[in-house]
Amino acid sequence: MYPSPEAREVGILLRISRELDVCGDLTATVDNPSELIAWATVLTDPTVLAWLSQDSGARFVQVSADHHKAPVRGHVSAVLTCEQHAHFWDALHLDDLEPGSTRPLSVADLARAWEAMPLTPPESPTIPDPPPPSADRAA
């Protein structure tokens, strides 16, 4: 998913700025479960929620907390879209979550789900071994 033009502009401005001080709410979209867990361990007393969108049925896991130290003072959230992370969603045992509803989770739940995820990618097709040389060609 590509960021909007506005998000790209703000991202560029943030990168070229010498210092950052955010006073207000901040939401970060993360790309994978390990990033979400990193946010959960850095934030103090985070709230962890899984939710299923009412209209699209899209699956999300969110970590949020109030933050009162520089460079961010406000409510901080990190959100993982779980459409590309079905194994993580399944490991959180959320298959009975109804559209429009939420389920509270813990940081420990996130860690357990991460540990339960497969370590290797799905099997890729293998290239068959070449046939052994035949006796005809050897003669």
Domain of 51?
20-118
> pLDDT tens-digit profile of 63-121?
999 999 888 889 999 999 999 999 999 999 999 999 999 999 999 999 999 998 876 65
The answer to whether position 130 is within a domain reads no
Tokens of 47: 């709230």
Q: Which residue type sits at 110?
A: L
The answer to whether position 83 is within a domain reads yes
The answer to whether position 26 is within a domain reads yes
The answer to whether position 139 is within a domain reads no
User: Global pTM?
Assistant: 0.74
The answer to whether position 127 is within a domain reads no
> pLDDT tens-digit profile of 30-52?
999 999 999 999 999 999 999 99
The answer to whether position 96 is within a domain reads yes
Helices within 28-131 (DSSP H only): 33-42, 86-91, 107-116
Q: Rounded to whole angstroms, how far apart are CA atoms 107 and 100?
A: 22
The answer to whether position 133 is within a domain reads no
